[in-house]
Structure 1
Amino acid sequence: MLLVPGAVRAPQELLMPLAREVTSDGDVHLLFPADAPPVRAATHAQADELSAVLEITDVAPVAVPHRIRGRAWLSGWLTRVPEQAEPGRMMLRLEIGEISVDDLWGSGKAEPEAFAAAAADPLAEHEAELLQHLHAAHGDQVRLLGSLLGTRAGLAHTERAVPLALDRFGLRIRFAGEGQCFDARFDFPEPVGNVTELRRAMHQLFTAASE
């Protein structure tokens, strides 16, 4: 959701871009209908600097307690990029000045230069379907990973276990039930670069849990 002066009271759906992408320079391009409040605000600003905040909410693609995995706020300056949109739509450019993140791994800030240089996690595009597949087809094996938790194994074995997040470094599972829940992170032996390597890494985890 893009928050800009004068548009903060607009309905949420009018502040959500139709599409977004990060350029090689680290700017964020946001596509809106031409009459959307953020477009009107950027048009009226003309040559003046218009501050804006892109708020991103990360929601787990599986049903778990406390489903929001994190939020990020990208603050910067908004301008129009009229030559990059079809009639009836307008592309806006958000030049990033500050980034804040609060998620499962903690809270902190990121430098715009680091954001521009960062590469997407190789599993990001497929994470939702992979988590849904693990939950639907490998629920018993996912639950069995609780046996790797040492002193917490007894609790984890009897609780509901749902795969919550997945990246090249490992899998996070949320164990829940009887009024309590906790997350456990299971790191892969080494970072994976694609789905094939992920299958091998998951096989190693499941094998270790079954021994």
Structure 2
Amino acid sequence: MPHLTSPAPTTAERIRSACARAGGALLAVEGDDPVAVPVHHLLSDGSFAVAVPLDRVSTASHGMAGSQALLELTDYAPLPVREPVRSLVWVRGVLHSIPPSELTETLDAIATENPNPALLQVETPRSTPTNDDETRYTLLRLDIASVVVTDSTGAEPVPAADLLAARPDPFCDVEATLLWHLTTAHNDIVARLVSRLPASLRRGQVHPLGLDRYGLRFRVEGNDGDHDVRLPFHKPVDDMIALRQAIRVLMGCPFLNGLRARR
């Protein structure tokens, strides 16, 4: 049976992965209603760039630059479960304008790591007129005062320096696709993996909840509530070949490289 106390992602890694997976976020500014922001990117100076709808910035009675703000990122489970929110990340800080002379360079830096189509709708000094139905955005910078992640294990803060040093999980972008494929095309593998969990942790409906370089997570939905459990790999993995081998090890497969037995 695999050792259930093997390494797991650090708090900073979990936050970086949650930020990369979150398709959208909410920005709450003091005195105003929360607004959806399609771009939320950690910059190299330790601040977050956020794209705020232009009409919300222009109609704010006090403006947004210099305001206290809270950025909320929601990480949803890739498969249907009773409680779909896996974790919440709260970034608290102060909003600042980005000088026009730095805006294009900032947008290019974001697009290199995250080519979000909404970046094309950010107002720049060289912006061309667009049709009135298209939402336009202003890019603001959120200087971090605190970052906290909360999930089924509780809430934990992390310093901005740790976030900069961490990287999103290598399977972050394909996690949902991999888990959907595993459950729809290889349900026998899922059943085999679930059977490797201690019997005391299988009292209820068990669903795949997550996948990262350290292992697989499952959500157990029981009459007494939901419980999350990790099934760790024998060692961290960084590519698909190593991932396939790690899953075979978890299943108890003797042919680690997928080799057939000799006749």
Instruction: Compute the TM-score of the two structures, normalised by the length of structure 2.
Output: 0.67
Displacement of 1:191 in angstroms is: 0.7
- Structure 2 regions of 5+ residues with no counterpart? 1-25, 104-121, 128-135, 255-263
Displacement of 1:18 in angstroms is: 2.2
Displacement of 1:100 in angstroms is: 1.1
Displacement of 1:105 in angstroms is: 4.0
Kindly tell me the number of residue pairs found equivalent between the two proteins: 198
User: 1:73 and 1:112, CA in 2 relative to 1: closer, same or farther beyond 3 A?
Assistant: same
Displacement of 1:152 in angstroms is: 2.6
Query: In 1, Cα distance between the equivalents of 2:215 and 2:83?
Result: 20
Displacement of 1:108 in angstroms is: 1.0
Aligned to 1:29: 49
Displacement of 1:195 in angstroms is: 2.4
Displacement of 1:99 in angstroms is: 0.9
Q: Is residue 64 of structure 1 aligned with residue 81 of structure 2?
A: yes
Q: 1:124 aligns with which of 165, 172, 181?
A: 172
- Structure 1 regions of 5+ residues with no counterpart? none
Report the 3-state secondary structure (helix = DSSP H, G, I; strand = E; otherwise coil) of the residue aligned with 1:164.
strand
Matches within 5 A, 1:61-210: 61-81=78-98, 83=100, 84=103, 85-86=122-123, 87=127, 88-152=136-200, 155=202, 159-176=204-221, 181-207=226-252
Higher mean alpha-carbon deviation, 89-98 vs 136-145, is at 136-145
More helix by share: 1
Higher mean alpha-carbon deviation, 77-86 vs 167-176, is at 77-86
Higher mean alpha-carbon deviation, 100-109 vs 170-179, is at 170-179
Query: In 1, Cα distance between the equivalents of 2:241 and 2:143?
Result: 37
Query: In 2, Cα distance between the equivalents of 1:180 and 1:160?
Result: 11
Query: In 1, Cα distance between the equivalents of 2:181 and 2:62?
Result: 45
Q: Retained in 2: the 8 A contact 1:139–1:161?
A: no
Letter in 1 for 2:231: F
Instruction: Compute the TM-score of the two structures, normalised by the length of structure 1.
Output: 0.82
Letter in 1 for 2:157: K
Displacement of 1:35 in angstroms is: 1.1
Letter in 2 for 1:196: I
Query: In 2, Cα distance between the equivalents of 1:74 and 1:98?
Result: 6
Share of identical aligned residues, percent?
33
Query: In 1, Cα distance between the equivalents of 2:137 and 2:148?
Result: 29
Looking at both structures, which has the greater relative contact order when contacts are Cα pairs under 8 Å and sequence separation is at least 6? 2
Displacement of 1:198 in angstroms is: 1.3
Q: Retained in 2: the 8 A contact 1:26–1:117?
A: no
